[in-house]
Amino acid sequence: MFRSQPTASPAASSADAPAESAAPSSRRAARESESRRGKRGRSSSPRPTRRRRRWPWVLLGIFSLLLGIGAGGAWYVWSNYESQVRELLGWELPNDYAGTGNGTEVLVTIYSGEIGSDVATSLVDQGVTMSFDAFYDLLLADPSISFVPGTYRLQEEMSARSALDALLDPANKVELSATVREGLRAGEVIDALSAGTGIPLADYEAAIADPSIYGIPDVAPNIEGYLFPATYTFEPGSTAEDHIRRLVDETFARLDAAGVSEEDRHTVLTKASLIQREARLADDFYRVSRVVVNRLDAGWRLELDSTAQYGAGETGSVWSSGDALDADNPYNTYVIQGLPIGPIAAPGDLAIDAALNPADGPWFFFVTVNLTTGETVFSETVAQHEQGVAQLRAWCRASEENAAYCE
């Protein structure tokens, strides 16, 4: 927040206000002086008298012209030559609009560190207010006025008072914010960012094209897994690249807080992303982590559908397609040994903690047997695991509603 300037600059001082009416006042004084001289005698030049008599003819000519061209023509003349007509008739030019705007929305941004004169200038430049003085004089009249940096919804052609009221109303503030949920893929993350901030999706696509500019290690095939899930509020005027950097920096900060070294970041994020996509209940995050560790330590393939589906560009489902299980799929852990080449989603704090602190247990298998409650069975042997798979198939056949989850 900041306050409007307590003192006026020369361009906006209250002493400037009478200057606009100086010319009309001077003309009135001249006419009064001429009138007094006329009463004393006719020794003065007759030209002032003729100049004075010209006004009725000018007015008559103008009104005759307006009558001749009709209402439409009169409006055209007024719309295009208002200032000239006002000057001719000695009418003072307005410096403020009336009302709350013409209905055309304008987004006005107040940046941190700006002062009242900056705001007044911005409003004029964007067509919100008619003049600098109309708005700035309101600030001079009340030095207690202060603004909160941000972007606000206003309209074109607002009165200075309406514009000021709108800027002071929190309801008009446009929040540049977005919520990124745990487990989203990078494409879904930038969809959420674009929807929340209004910045075009293409800008975010360009911003994630080269992950190396954010300090992501070269071993990472893309930015997947490095966009930390959270709710973010961004500064007005910030760019898509600024936002991506914010998410990546948040990921690094969370890893640092968890005690993860830079060398281990990629491995931890990869493990955590598998846990994030496979586990349903909080306690199961740590059990899934143990299954991953046990299989890796034993030299077994992970055989996770979530990884195979990611490599095929498929969304999560119970059964993997033939494309997902293709041997050329670098994320197909039914074929490859060890971890996939990179994360498959955005892991949150819980998944990262589970990757670092797996539960104690002998499990090598797990299967979710109720897709609505997330109930999961963990097994040590193949036979036990097959019983769990049979339990899942039975659940899928139990109702049409269940079957829809299993497609």
Residue range 354-400, pLDDT digits in tens: 999 999 999 999 999 999 999 999 999 999 999 999 999 999 999 99
Model pLDDT for residues 138-188, shown as the tens digit of each residue: 999 999 999 998 889 999 999 999 999 999 999 999 888 899 999 999 999
Q: What is the pLDDT of residue 237?
A: 79
Please report how the helices 349-356 and 265-278 are oriented relative to each other, as an axis angle in degrees rounded to 10.
Answer: 110
Mean pLDDT of the region 11-27: 38
Band of pLDDT at residue 301, cut at 50, 70 and 90: very high
Q: What is the pLDDT of residue 174?
A: 84
Mean pLDDT of the region 292-302: 98
Of residues 318 and 45, more confidence is placed in: 318
Residue 11 burial (10 A CB sphere; 0-12, 13-18, 19+): exposed
Q: Beta strands 177-179 and 231-233: pairing type?
A: antiparallel
Q: What is the pLDDT of residue 91?
A: 65
Q: What is the pLDDT of residue 38?
A: 40
Q: Count of alpha carbons within 13 Å of 361, Cβ hemisphere only? A: 24
Q: How far apart are CA 248 and CA 253, in angstroms?
A: 9
Q: Beta strands 376-379 and 105-110: pairing type?
A: unpaired
Collapse the DSSP code of 107 into the 3-class scheme (helix H, G, I; strand E, B; otherwise coil) and give the result.
Answer: strand
Residue 80 has pLDDT above 90, yes or no: no
Residue 12 has pLDDT above 50, yes or no: no
Mean pLDDT of the region 58-64: 58
Of residues 59 and 345, more confidence is placed in: 345
Q: What is the pLDDT of residue 74?
A: 59
How far is CA 369 from each of CA 319, 335, 407, rounded to the nearest angstrom? 13, 25, 14
Boundaries of every domain in the chain: 177-263, 278-405
- In this structure, of 249-263, 318-332, 334-348, 382-396, the range with the lowest mean pLDDT score is 318-332
Band of pLDDT at residue 16, cut at 50, 70 and 90: very low
Which residues lie across from 106 on neighbouring strands?
154
Q: What is the pLDDT of residue 57?
A: 56
With a CB cutoff of 8 Å and minimum separation 6, the contacts of 219 are 266, 342
Q: What is the pLDDT of residue 60?
A: 55
In terms of pTM, does the model score above 0.85?
A: no
Q: What is the pLDDT of residue 295?
A: 98
Q: What is the pLDDT of residue 95?
A: 87
Q: How far apart are CA 167 and CA 172, in angstroms?
A: 7
Model pLDDT for residues 94-128, shown as the tens digit of each residue: 889 999 999 999 999 898 899 999 999 999 999 99
Give buried/exposed letters for 356-378 (b at 16+ CB in 10 A, else e).
bebbeeebbbbbbbbbeeeebbb
For the stretch 47-53, contacts whose Cβ atoms lie closer than 8 Å and that sit 24 or more positions apart, written own/partner, are none
Residue type, 286: Y
Mean pLDDT of the region 228-254: 95
Residue type, 264: D
Mean pLDDT of the region 76-90: 61
Residue 44 has pLDDT above 60, yes or no: no
How far is CA 244 from each of CA 73, 89, 241, rounded to the nearest angstrom? 56, 59, 5
Residue 62 has pLDDT above 70, yes or no: no
Residue 213 has pLDDT above 70, yes or no: yes
Band of pLDDT at residue 317, cut at 50, 70 and 90: confident
- In this structure, of 12-21, 71-80, 273-282, the range with the lowest mean pLDDT score is 12-21
Q: What is the pLDDT of residue 397?
A: 95
Band of pLDDT at residue 61, cut at 50, 70 and 90: low
How far is CA 57 from each of CA 18, 30, 52, rounded to the nearest angstrom? 30, 20, 10
Mean pLDDT of the region 189-202: 95
